[in-house]
Amino acid sequence: MNWADLNLMPALPELFMSGAILVILMLDAFISDAKRGMHYGLALLTLAVCALLQVQTYPVVPVHTFSGMFVSDALSSLVKLAMYGSTAIVLVYSRQYIADRGLLRGEFFSLALFALLGMNFMVSASSFVSLYMGLELLSLSLYSLIALQRDSVKATESAMKYFVLGALASGLLLYGISMIYGATGTLDLALVAKAIKAHTANDMLLVFGLVFIVAGLCFKLGAVPFHMWVPDVYQGSATAVTLMVGAAPKLAAFVFVLRILVQGLEAMVADWQAMLALVAVLSMAIGNITAIAQTNIKRMLAYSTISHMGFLLLGLLAGTPDGYAAALFYALIYVLMSMVSFGILLGLSRAGFECETLDDLKGLNSRNSWYALLMLLTMFSMAGVPPLAGFYAKFAVIKAIADIHLYWLAVVSVMMSLIGAFYYLRVVKNIYFDEAQDTSAIVMRADMKLVLSLNAIALLVLGVVPERVIVLCMQAMKQSLAAI
Amino acid sequence: MSMTTVIFYILSAILLFAAVRVVTAKNPVHAVLYLVLAFFTSSGHWLLLQSEFLAITLVLVYVGAVMVLFLFVVMMLDINIEQLREGFWRNFPVAVTVGLIMAFEMVLILTNPHTGLADYKAGAALAADASNVKVLGRQLYTTYLLPFELAAVVLLVAMVAAIGLTQRSRKDTKVVDAGDQVKVRSQDRVRIVKMQAEKNVEAADTAESGEQQA
């Protein structure tokens, strides 16, 4: 490769973001504490410009650059746009919360953007090396975001747990990757796929590598039996950081899994299908059943996340383009839903008070009926009640499973979704039918109120007319997977 | 026996001696110094394998930075040597047994023809002007440019996180800032509250009852 051949255009949004992060870091050293709000504005501006550049460079065919380690295709562009949007929304929701808790510092915004940069490289990677580097960039930023709340023992503990378990999972993943490398002699995903198809690789070694990779990936997704970190991290972190861990990274992790399993190891579909089916059933069962016993709403939502990851895997393990598109749609809708639910918790919290138990939501309707309605929409959507988006997302993945005649799996997932409906409806019951214990007024910034309302209404709109988004997902999958 | 083989055995002997001394040295400072010797000697091994870049990096990074830092920490800490060495002789027999079993297993595997050690011959001698610094550098800055730059960003994140997590002004500190003291104005210290000269009777009553309740 010569310097003259280096095409930087496909990575333009990432390059701009890196530059903008450095500017924010530098400004942090010079501006006074009173003007810390400036970071917030700059971070949102950066995201807006990145989104604009992303739309401008939206590729017609996949473009590879950096010696084939970076790919810009419809899948990565679509997911990146969603991640810019979700990060911006998370920042809007967190603004007041972090200011009340002394977290409104330059590091919060620069680490959040670093995490996003890592996610961008994860979804755009076409080689195991760049996939892994992106993952590490994301993980390291998330660990330190959690630990940023230094005076909280719980936050420090959860950062430590996340760090130790995350390092272990990265180790498993690397071990698996090294075996695949040993068997195929290449780290490039397309070449790995070619080598496996040509049967030049040692099958035994490949299967061993696959097991380690699936274990590492399940950890990153937070699927059973590698889910232990999820509830502790969700509960221990400041709610704003929980949202940051739970929203966009799930999208990135999904594409990460897709790139490795579908683009790299597609020829071994029979092997990973069985593993993922087991993981999906366990995730749906343990996630939904354990969530019933929770009194802390952040912990409950953590278990709900685990069950949602199970549903997401259903679409993935179908092994068909329709299934992948359904899983991508599920991931997008899941991110939208988790943002509203945590957004409401962030809005109900104020200086010196954390809204985190189910009792804190009691009588929300009498305090503010609009927020109560938004929460109702989200909970119904999570439970999968039509005509909300959550219903359509569940419908699409279950249909993908039924299409490949795995009827038992479809039946199990419907049953699990019924069990899950119980604890979502309990939240609704608390909001509408219980007496409020806390009657203080709910104060939200105007921008947050607006974004939160739009975010929840999007769930309704996407539930009624999901075609446009699902067509986008289909096109992205078709274009990105056509290369194999 | 060629010159290279002689040097290899001399280096290996020094390396083994240093490694054993790291574990057995009574004084932790001596242990660290022996570890420096071990690193330095193994960099000699890298040189014999014609990997001069790795050899230099080992000395620069491990000996120059990591071990000096280590030495610094060891000297700063008040380590009770007696306490550390407690149980050394008690655990010694088990340690020797485990070590011998491991050595036996390695011999068993490495001497087995199925292991195929013959496939891993020593690399052919490089040309006199071959430079692996050049080759590594070219690879890092062309083919592996993206991961290399990403690694740089990861290090930057580590730095930001380390500063963000450790730099703080302690709440209980009693240090006074002379600049703040000079800049202080009377308005900052004394608050003038406007009050009515006379209170009306009802207000005074409620104030009184309030006080009694309190």
ipTM attached to this prediction = 0.91
Question: Among A247, A220, A439, A235, which residue's Cα sits nearest to residue A343?
Answer: A247
| Per-residue model confidence (pLDDT) at position B203 | 53
Helix or strand holding residue A389 (H, E)? helix A389-403
SS3 content of chain B, % helix, strand, coil (to 5): 75, 0, 25
Q: How far is A388 from chain B (nearest CA, A)?
A: 39
Q: Which of B149, B153, B166, B172 to mutate to test the interface with A (most CBs of A within 10 A)?
A: B153
In the three-class reduction of DSSP (H, G, I as helix; E, B as strand; rest coil), residue A231 is classed as helix
Contacts of B53 (CB under 8 A, 6+ apart): B132, B133, B136
Provide the residue count of chain A.
484
Question: How many Å separate Cα B70 from the centre of its chain?
Answer: 8
Q: CB-side exposure of A444: number of CA atoms within 13 Å?
A: 22
Question: Among A331, A342, A334, A333, which residue's Cα sits nearest to residue A300?
Answer: A342
Angle value at C-alpha B19, between B18 and B20, nearest 5 degrees: 90
Contacts of A431 (CB under 8 A, 6+ apart): A361, A362, A363, A364, A365, A372, A375, A376
Q: For residue A130, which residues of chain B lie inside 8 Å, CB to CB?
A: 146-147, 150
| Per-residue model confidence (pLDDT) at position B119 | 65
Q: For residue B156, which residues of chain A lie inside 8 Å, CB to CB?
A: 114
Residues 463-482 of A with CB under 8 A from B: none
| Per-residue model confidence (pLDDT) at position B214 | 45
Contacts of A183 (CB under 8 A, 6+ apart): A195, A201, A202, A205, A206, A209
Q: What's the burial of B69, exposed, middle or buried (CB within 10 Å: 0-12/13-18/19+)?
A: exposed
d(CA A64, CA A78): 17
A425-438: string of b/e by CB count within 10 Å (b at 16+)? Answer: ebbbebbbebeeee
| Per-residue model confidence (pLDDT) at position A461 | 93
| Per-residue model confidence (pLDDT) at position A81 | 95
Question: From first to last of its 484 residues, what are the pLDDT tens digits of chain A?
Answer: 556 677 888 899 999 999 999 999 998 888 876 777 888 999 999 999 999 999 998 888 888 888 889 999 999 999 999 999 999 999 999 999 998 888 888 889 999 999 999 999 999 999 999 999 999 999 999 999 999 888 889 999 999 999 999 999 999 999 999 999 988 888 999 999 988 888 877 778 888 899 999 999 999 899 988 898 999 999 999 999 999 999 999 999 999 999 999 988 888 888 899 999 999 999 999 999 999 999 999 999 999 999 999 999 999 999 888 999 999 999 999 999 999 999 999 999 888 888 888 888 888 888 888 999 999 999 999 999 988 999 999 999 999 999 999 899 999 999 999 999 999 999 999 999 988 887 788 888 889 999 999 999 999 999 999 999 999 999 998 888 875 4
Q: Do B150 and A121 touch (CB under 8 A)?
A: yes
Residue in chain B lying closest to A6 (CA): B142
d(CA A269, CA A275): 10
Q: What is the dihedral of CA A74, A79, A81, A83, to 10 degrees?
A: -170
* Ranges under pLDDT 50 in chain B: 214
Q: How far is A324 from chain B (nearest CA, A)?
A: 28
Question: Among A286, A144, A158, A292, which residue's Cα sits nearest to residue A225?
Answer: A286
d(CA A340, CA A216): 29
d(CA A16, CA A80): 14
The residue written with tokens 């008040």 in the block is: B78
Q: For residue B145, which residues of chain A lie inside 8 Å, CB to CB?
A: 6, 66-67
d(CA A202, CA A85): 43
